[in-house]
């Protein structure tokens, strides 16, 4: 049996033609390692010098950015959060890593609008900072613009009517049962608000009120208003239809619909209420209509 030379590559006896296509691996000797050492040392020194220069520039720029941000009125929390994000991005770029936006972190929960929990926490800290600032004043609630975009024109008429006329009577129609046990709701929140407000689509009046309730502008109270005001409501066609569906001994529960304090302020700020703007939330005023 013949012995193979350690310096010669072994070939496949079944495919001798591959021998010329596979180059031999270069041997690493002590001499070649010593010859490469000066180059490696120069590379290490150059990299260290560049890192030190980058660190110095970054520290100076960071200090300047913090001073400028605080001088412009930005809160310390927001300034530090912004600069931390910038430094993290610069560091990843220096190391040749992908951007944080390109990396999916399973532990980071994203909000519906794309903001992370850390960003939302920074926004909350900013609100707390503003609330502690005695010189900060906010005349308009930041949600008002969004609310106006989520309202139908008829809903604005309903709000204006409630702002001028005050709380309105409403009734629930239920089935009559002994001691009220097993009584079922047939129709709830029936009122004349849509009719008196002059909405274009009376069939959607209840849906309009539901949306205004969702937005926190009105609320359905269990308290009654003047009892004489329910007489007109209880003879309306929709109330009569609901009482027929309730069967024998139908029962009406008297309620009322009000503007919330948030809704009162919304009407003052966002809706034209006429001369003097009217006493929003102070009860009915003498008026023949909206």
- Structure-model confidence comparison of residues 273 and 42, the more confident one: 273
CB 225 within 8 A of CB 169: yes
| Mean pLDDT, the chain, whole residue set | 76
Please compute the mean of the pLDDT values over residues 78-89 and round it to a whole number: 67
Q: Same domain for 93 and 169?
A: no
pLDDT of residue 97: 59
HEC per residue, the chain: CCCCCCCCCCCCCCCHHHCCCCCCCCCCCHHHHHHHHHHHHHHHHHHHHHHHHHHHHHHHHHHHHHHHHHHCCCCHHHHHHHHHHHHHHHHHHHCCCCCHHHCCCCCCCECCCCCEHHHHHHHHHHHHHHHCCCCCCCCCCCCHHHHHHCCCHHHHHHHHHHHHHCCEEEEEEECCCHHHCCCCEEEEEEECHHHHHCCCCHHHHHHHHHHHHHCCCEEEECCCCCHHHHHHHHCCHHHHHHHHHCCCCCEEEEEEEEECHHHHHHHHHHCCCCHHHCCCCCCCCCCCCC
**Which residue from 144, 100, 170 is spatially nearest to 268, judged by alpha carbons?**
144
pLDDT of residue 16: 54
- Structure-model confidence comparison of residues 26 and 87, the more confident one: 87
Q: Same domain for 241 and 160?
A: yes
Structure confidence by residue, pLDDT tens digits, 157-212? 999 999 999 999 999 999 887 766 778 899 989 999 999 999 999 999 999 999 99
Q: Same domain for 127 and 247?
A: no
**Within a domain: 137:** no
Question: Which of 131, 161, 185 is the last residue before a domain boundary?
Answer: 131
Q: Same domain for 118 and 210?
A: no
Q: Same domain for 96 and 180?
A: no
pLDDT of residue 133: 74
Model's pTM, two decimal places? 0.54
Please compute the mean of the pLDDT values over residues 254-276 and round it to a whole number: 90
pLDDT bin (cut points 50, 70, 90) of residue 83 is low
Structure confidence by residue, pLDDT tens digits, 239-249? 999 999 988 88
Structure confidence by residue, pLDDT tens digits, 169-184? 999 999 887 766 778 8
Q: Same domain for 105 and 151?
A: no
Structural domain boundaries enclosing 117: 32-131
Structure confidence by residue, pLDDT tens digits, 110-138? 445 678 888 888 888 888 887 777 776 77
pLDDT of residue 37: 66
Question: Which percentage of the chain shows pLDDT scores above 90?
Answer: 37
| Number of other residues whose CB lies within 10 A of the CB of residue 130 | 13
Number of domains in the chain: 2
């Amino acid at each position: 049996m013949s012995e193979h030379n350690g310096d010669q590559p072994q070939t496949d006896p079944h495919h001798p033609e591959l021998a010329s296509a596979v180059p031999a691996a270069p041997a690493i000797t002590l001499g070649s390692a010593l010859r490469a050492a000066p180059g490696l040392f120069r590379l290490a020194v150059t990299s260290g010098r560049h890192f030190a220069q980058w660190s110095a520039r970054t520290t100076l720029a960071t200090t300047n950015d913090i001073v400028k941000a605080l001088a412009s009125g930005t809160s310390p929390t927001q300034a530090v959060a912004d600069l931390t994000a910038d430094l993290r991005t610069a560091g990843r770029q220096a190391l040749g890593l992908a951007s944080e936006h390109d990396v999916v972190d399973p532990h980071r929960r994203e909000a519906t609008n794309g903001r992370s929990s850390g960003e939302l926490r920074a926004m909350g800290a900013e609100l707390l900072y503003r609330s502690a600032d005695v010189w900060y004043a906010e005349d308009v609630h930041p949600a008002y613009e969004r609310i106006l975009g989520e309202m139908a024109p008829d809903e604005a008429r309903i709000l204006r009517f409630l702002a001028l006329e005050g709380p309105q009577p409403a009734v629930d129609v239920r089935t009559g049962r002994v001691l009220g046990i097993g009584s079922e709701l047939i129709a709830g929140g029936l009122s004349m608000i849509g009719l008196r407000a002059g909405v274009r689509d009376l069939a959607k009046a209840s849906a309009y009120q539901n949306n205004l309730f969702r937005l926190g502008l009105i609320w359905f109270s269990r308290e009654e208003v003047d009892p004489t005001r329910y007489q007109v409501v209880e003879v309306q066609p929709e109330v009569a239809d609901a009482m027929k569906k309730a069967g024998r001994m139908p029962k009406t529960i008297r309620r009322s619909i009000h503007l919330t304090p948030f809704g009162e302020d919304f009407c003052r700020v966002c809706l034209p209420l006429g001369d003097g703007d009217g006493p929003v939330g102070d009860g009915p005023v003498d008026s023949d209509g909206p």
